[in-house]
Structure 1
């Protein structure tokens, strides 16, 4: 009985709980809907950012691959030109001595200008009956132990005669018969029959020792008898006398080509031929000791890889490119993560606020304001990639940036040793003193650090930055920390500049308009007062311009005004100013040369008298009336000075037009 009563009581308790829960959800339908919509917006923003980042990363990987391929191909073409220079040396002389060959290679500065090349050599081709004579001749030169090796009878011999630089490593190859080894033999035949450069397959160079053993290959260029006909394969085989060639150690070659650390953001292996078999591996990146000890790098699997082929005469190389841990770490998608985290967090905060609004009508107005703030923050979170955060520990002089700050200043985080110096060097040189002064003022607690300045990127593009910060002080009043944000206002600034230009320049002639002319004249007068000089102003009005407009139309009139403005500018110095007041009226400001003002005015008048040639070759003729006023001789105030010049111009019109009149001469 007691058990039955207890069950009934529990059921009775559950019923109100369900009703309360349903009532709660019915009353908070809108907040939950907004919450779901907010999460959806966050997901869409995260998804779009993530996809954009993936495309950007793939493009950057493709660019790095293309740069590496281009570097290898360009360097190999350079080596080919070096060999062709050697051929030219032999072609220019009946005999090239060992000393001449040595001097030639020395002047090339191989180690400095062509890193990666093992040497430059010359090998002669020998018939069996010529071999002993050749060996004896070399011994008479002082090489008492010289021999053509390896020993054995063959139908054709070759021997390395010259090899520079003649180091201990290269001396091991002196006298070696490269034609006796299959891979070299094939490459030498291809070069001989084609009359062009050819690369050998993967080989072990004779110069190699047990220390730092590397794969190698050789590049051959055939040398034929001077003046011999070599138009077909038979002729080339008959007239061949030897090869100018270069041996290469593969690791040294690649390190010589890819000197920049940037290239190590991708790894690649090189295979001889079209396969990727292990026995054809020519080059693979060395594993750094710290990579082995780092578990993240050790477990790293590249997201990006591609196989490319480089075609060389007689040989192809297959290159397998892979992204590295460093590459993918640098390009880690922090922005998508930030958007997802910020959006979700702000969505939860928004839900909390909206739920409180729904449950408390007495605080609806205050909650609505808070909701608006949070919605604005949510929108800001979606564009968080343009706001950078920095933290300067003033006491210990430690500056910390988030990833966005590096993007705002186009600074590569991996290449920065002194962040403060790198940051300050990016600030436009004309703004550096201003920025430094504001920093010092903030440190002295004179005012908050809030300013706008220009940043100059490595590509010489100018960006505008808005910086706002809060400074913390200790009990003694010393600054201990500055925390703030930077954001890019370039777009707003450029718009402001465009609007200012539209407000200050005539849209037709692109000359300063009345507003800017007044400002320039004010500056010129101030300069004249400071230096106790005089200056002049000219008023120019075109004679009978209305007739041209009425006869030919406004489009011809506009064209004529542009041509007139160009001619006037051609008569002036760079320090002078010409502007258009409106209609057919122009004004010229001549600082410091008032005594020659009449000469300048007559120069303009005569220039404008010359015919104007329209597109249909029809001629237009026009004249001008010009009034001249001198400051401070004729007026000591800006408005009166312009009035004097205007009166002088109208006096010129009264006296028959096409004249120059100086105020005070009438």
Structure 2
């Protein structure tokens, strides 16, 4: 059949060089890395190099690329800043980006993926693995372009279109807007758990699968695509036939309009990104929460405290910081072992959480140090100080009770430093935590199991 023959020719052209080479922009401030990338990719791709974010921006202003490989840590513009500026350029469009960097911590990877990068690969990298990932991305983009071309050509048969749609490995639907009829491929059915042999549905049915919390967002994006010719690029949840929801990434555009500009036909690719979303959630948990106690960590505390200081600077309200250090924790660790010490810290976190309101924050800074941030207090600063002191006394009483940790019963008590804050000039996150730490140390020096309030 001609459709199979044509599809085979597409693959043959890609493998033999009959088609134009895909263009890749490699951006890195290390010449050796750029040389390695050119050697690795030069036979199969048209590779352009840039040594800075500014050079990359100028390159994309001049021409389009099929893929951008971008270092994160560069002098001047970082890779993250470069990507954000590239996304504003007409030539960038939806160009896939791979971050290739030595900054391989979870927070940076989460941030990079959140900016829209397709992949995040740590240095030193395995050349074979990098090449495989690049080939997969470029092949997918190439087939999507062929799909768009096929859709715009009425001479192409629907059967050939179906083969191309399946070749992407992604869900695809082709929407005839006026009739509300939607033709889909089997991959789309697999994503939502429907019969793979039923390849036509209505748009009304497709919308009924969208999570209620996401429906308005998706509807606005579709309207913008139909009415203003904006490309569709959105992530949302859809209901699987088994009842659970899966995360999908949709990319599409109007491929046919009538003489008066009305949208006639729209095509969209649908990719299951549930695993990526799980990974992002896990990265966020690791980046912002203490893995032992599940409490916010230093990073998240600093972020919340900074936002609160800025708010109080505008509104004139006040809050309190309680810096808590567990007395003789090292003795518990040394006597009963680290497992028991960890159990004690988990119990401390639980008791602290029980002493405060949901609007407040308990964070573990590390070791046996915790911080409680009290917010949404009264306007009167002295009344707030009295309330904060009562909470501190409640914490003293709660944390001073014996700890039943499996077969072990042990004791520990807190030393607490209390500092009030209201966002006045000169108050910073660092100064507040440092001051609270200082008065906590004074409480510990005075005999432990006590509270010291800053003047």
Same fold (TM > 0.5) = yes
CA contact (8 A) 1:528 1:591 kept: no
Give the conservation status (yes or no) of the 8 Å contact 1:508–1:562. yes
Q: What is aligned with 1:389? A: 172
Matching residue within 490, 494, 500 for 2:278: 494
What SS does the corresponding residue of 2:449 show, helix, strand or coil?
A: coil
5 Å-filtered alignment, 1:108-119, equals: none
* 1:44-443 alignment, distance < 5 Å: 347=8, 349-351=10-12, 368-369=44-45, 376=139, 387-410=170-193, 419-443=202-226
SS of the residue corresponding to residue 293 of structure 2 reads coil
Which 5+ residue runs of structure 1 have no aligned equivalent? Answer: 1-340, 358-364
Take 2:414 and 2:138, find their aligned partners in 1: how far apart are those partners?
63
Deviates more, 1:414-423 or 1:439-448: 414-423
Find the counterpart in structure 1 of residue 336 from structure 2: 552
Deviation digits for residues 499-555 of structure 1 (CA, Å, limit 9, x no counterpart): 221121112112111112122323444555666532222111111222222333322
Look up the match of 1:621. 411
2:376 to 562, 587, 592: 592
Following TM superposition, by how much is the alpha carbon of 1:416 offset from its aligned partner in structure 2, in angstroms? 12
Q: Show the counterpart of 2:64.
A: none
Tell me the secondary structure at the aligned position of residue 228 of structure 2: coil
Cα deviation 1:421-473 (Å, max 9, x = unaligned): 33223222222222122122222336311111122336552311010112244
Q: Which residue of 1 aligns with 2:354?
A: 570
- Compared CA separation, residues 538 and 351, structure 1 to 2 (3 A): same
> CA deviation digits over 1:187-221, x for unaligned, max 9?
xxxxxxxxxxxxxxxxxxxxxxxxxxxxxxxxxxx
Q: Which has the higher helix share?
A: 1
The Cα offsets for residues 276-313 of structure 1, whole Å up to 9 and x where unpaired, read as xxxxxxxxxxxxxxxxxxxxxxxxxxxxxxxxxxxxxx
* SS of 1:431 mapped into structure 2: helix
> For the structure 1 residues 352 and 449, does the alpha-carbon distance in structure 2 shift closer, same or farther, using more than 3 Å as the test?
closer
CA 1:452–1:628 in structure 2 vs 1: closer, same or farther (change >3 Å)?
Answer: same
RMSD: 3.8
User: Which residue pairs with 1:662 in the alignment?
Assistant: 453
Answer yes or no: is the 8 Å Cα contact 1:449–1:467 preserved in 2.
Answer: yes
Secondary structure of the structure 2 residue equivalent to 1:592: coil
Mark the runs of 5 or more structure 2 residues left unpaired by the alignment: 19-40, 47-134, 145-163, 378-383
Residue matched to 1:638: 429
Q: Distance in 2 between matches of 1:532 and 1:427?
A: 43
Provide TM-score, normalisation by structure 1.
Answer: 0.42
In 2, the alpha carbon distance for the partners of 1:367 and 1:642 equals 56
In 2: Cα distance, 1:450 partner to 1:421 partner: 20
Cα distance, 1:624 vs. partner? Answer: 0.8
For 1:470, the equivalent position in structure 2 comes to: 253
Once residues 412 and 350 of structure 1 are traced to their aligned partners in structure 2, the CA distance between those partners, rounded to angstroms, is: 29
The CA deviation at 1:350 is 3.8
Q: Are the structure 2 counterparts of residues 564 and 639 from structure 1 closer, same or farther at C-alpha, using a change threshold of 3 Å?
A: same
Q: 1:471–1:479: 8 Å Cα contact kept in structure 2?
A: yes
How much has 1:612 moved relative to structure 2? 1.2
Q: Aligned equivalents of 1:421 and 1:447: distance in 2?
A: 21
Task: Look up the SS of the partner of 1:430 in the other structure.
Answer: helix
Q: CA deviation at 1:626?
A: 1.0
Deviations 1:303-336 (A, max 9, x none): xxxxxxxxxxxxxxxxxxxxxxxxxxxxxxxxxx
Select the structure of larger CA radius of gyration.
Answer: 1
Offset, 1:417: 11
CA distance in 1, matches of 2:287, 2:332: 28
Show the counterpart of 2:123.
none
Deviation at 1:658, TM superposition (A): 1.2
Corresponding pairs, count:
316
Question: How far, CA to CA, are the matches of 1:646 and 1:374 in structure 2?
Answer: 50
Q: C-alpha offsets along residues 244-266 of structure 1, whole Å, 9 cap, x if unaligned?
A: xxxxxxxxxxxxxxxxxxxxxxx
Output the CA distance in 1 between the equivalents of 2:427 and 2:265.
Answer: 54
Q: Given the superposition, is the C-alpha separation of residues 501 and 375 from structure 1 closer, same or farther in structure 2, using an over 3 Å criterion?
A: closer
TM-score, normalised to structure 2, is 0.60
When residues 353 and 645 of structure 1 are mapped into structure 2, their CA distance, relative to the original with a 3 A threshold, is closer
